């Protein structure tokens, strides 16, 4: 948690309680993960509605769409269908504020960290005034929570919103504002990570041959047919989408380093190296993700790498799943501190990508001759935020 605090400067970008009692992570690991099957119909419904509004341009065939910004907006809307409900997830002003918060928090944090302790509140105030911060999204979330908590008291059967689980798990002394900031925290994790993963995946899908795309579509249709529609079982059978997401995590990832830790006391590593207190340590993710002993031909991004491994093993092995963490796959961390929301993210991304594949042909504009290059900032890997793709509707498909 100390390393997370250093990376995000939580006392300023969110609040000091995030570090003391991160109960939102427990809620994600328990209540939210158990509720994932019940979220699938709502996530699908919002995905269809949002993409119809965002990607369809009947009067502009071959219209280029900025992928990162579009996907970030879609992720914010679709995630909040089950985080805060329909009212806020379709409020454009709220979506703009929450996306702005998610995008600017990792940009502001390094500048706060690099400032002397006494000046950090002022630095955050100045940066948030220009770039955005928690104030604007909280103007929507706090009054919503006040109404929702009153209405919830009289409900016999309470809806399974993520915000509801946070409310029922909040300590007795937690304020409405405190609960709202926990929901900001969850939104940040959902929007920031998922928008990067889906953008990178779409950049790769647009490079695939028509045969490979059809093989993905066939697998989706067979999964939906065998499981009777959009269910967790059907998503679990979408091995090629799952493989593409996992390979994006291996090849591109989110950061160049993994498992950051902050030394509270001095530590001897056993090889003569001593790490003093107050220092950061981390693992070089590239050294692991591009190790040929672990991943043959590691310098090639093969979106079917892990689905082929499933076929080779001859079993439906969860060890090759996008959300599975181990010592050789580190985008979500590892051990008990691994990302608590990764199963929710996997479900949402698989639904979105499956719907896109079934309903749209995705390609680069004619003027683009190579995959857009990533940018880096403070160790983070960010897809080209200006790159565009063409989403051309394929017509009516039987996806039920």
The closest of 96, 141, 105 to 7, measured between CA atoms, is 105
Using alpha carbons, list the distances in angstroms from residue 282 to 126, 354, 374, 379.
Answer: 30, 35, 22, 11
Residue 292 near residue 298, CB atoms below 8 Å? yes
Alpha-carbon Rg for the chain, nearest whole angstrom, is 21
Q: Report the distance separating Cα 266 and Cα 94, nearest Å.
A: 45
The closest of 12, 196, 188 to 100, measured between CA atoms, is 188
SS3 sequence of 132-154: CCCHHHHHHHHHHHHHHHHHHHC
Residue 123 near residue 31, CB atoms below 8 Å? no
The closest of 321, 313, 302, 164 to 232, measured between CA atoms, is 321
* Token pair recorded at residue 113: 């960290």
What is the full DSSP assignment across 344-388?
A: HHHHHHHHHHHHHHHHEEEE--TT--SPPPPEEETTEEE--TT-E
Residue 77 near residue 99, CB atoms below 8 Å? no
Phi, psi of 279 (to 5 degrees): -115, 160
Phi, psi of 61 (to 5 degrees): -65, 135
Residue 166 near residue 32, CB atoms below 8 Å? no
339 carries a ligand binding annotation: yes
- Tokens 């996907």 correspond to what residue? 71
Helix (H) or strand (E) holding 93: helix 92-113
Q: Binding site for heme: what residues are annotated?
A: 339
């Amino acid at each position: 948690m100390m390393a997370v605090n250093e990376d995000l400067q939580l006392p300023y970008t969110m609040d000091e309680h995030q570090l003391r009692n991160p109960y939102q992570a427990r809620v994600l690991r328990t209540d939210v993960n158990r509720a994932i099957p019940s979220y699938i119909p709502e996530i699908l419904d919002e995905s269809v509605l949002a993409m119809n509004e965002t990607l369809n341009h009947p009067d502009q065939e071959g219209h280029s769409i900025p992928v990162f910004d579009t996907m970030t907006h879609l992720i914010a809307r679709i995630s909040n269908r089950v985080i805060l409900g329909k009212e806020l997830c379709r409020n454009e002003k709220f979506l703009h504020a929450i996306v702005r918060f998610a995008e600017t928090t990792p940009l502001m944090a390094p500048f706060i960290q690099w400032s002397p302790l006494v000046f950090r509140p002022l630095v955050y105030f100045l940066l948030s005034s220009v770039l955005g911060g928690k104030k604007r999204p909280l103007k929507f979330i706090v009054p919503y929570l006040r109404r929702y908590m009153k209405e919830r008291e009289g409900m016999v059967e309470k809806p399974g919103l993520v915000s509801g689980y946070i409310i029922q798990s909040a300590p007795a002394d937690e304020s409405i504002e405190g609960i709202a900031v926990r929901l900001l925290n969850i939104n940040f994790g959902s929007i920031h990570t998922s928008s990067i993963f889906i953008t990178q995946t779409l950049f790769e899908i647009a490079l695939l041959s028509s045969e490979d795309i059809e093989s993905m579509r066939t697998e989706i249709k067979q999964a939906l047919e065998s499981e009777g529609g959009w269910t967790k079982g059907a998503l679990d059978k979408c091995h090629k989408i799952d493989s593409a997401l996992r390979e994006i995590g291996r090849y591109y990832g989110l950061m160049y380093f993994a498992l950051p830790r902050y030394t509270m006391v001095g530590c001897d590593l056993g090889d003569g190296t001593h790490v003093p207190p107050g220092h950061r340590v981390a693992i070089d993710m590239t050294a692991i993700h591009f190790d040929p002993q672990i991943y043959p031909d590691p310098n090639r991004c093969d979106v079917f790498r892990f689905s082929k491994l499933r076929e080779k093993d001859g079993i439906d092995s969860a060890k090759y799943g996008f959300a599975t963490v181990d010592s050789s796959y580190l985008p979500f961390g590892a051990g008990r501190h691994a990302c608590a929301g990764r199963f929710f993210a996997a479900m949402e991304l698989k639904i979105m990508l499956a719907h896109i594949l079934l309903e749209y042909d995705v390609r680069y504009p004619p003027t683009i001759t190579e995959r857009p290059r990533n940018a880096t900032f403070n160790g983070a890997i960010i897809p080209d935020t200006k790159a565009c793709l063409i989403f051309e509707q394929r017509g009516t498909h039987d996806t039920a």
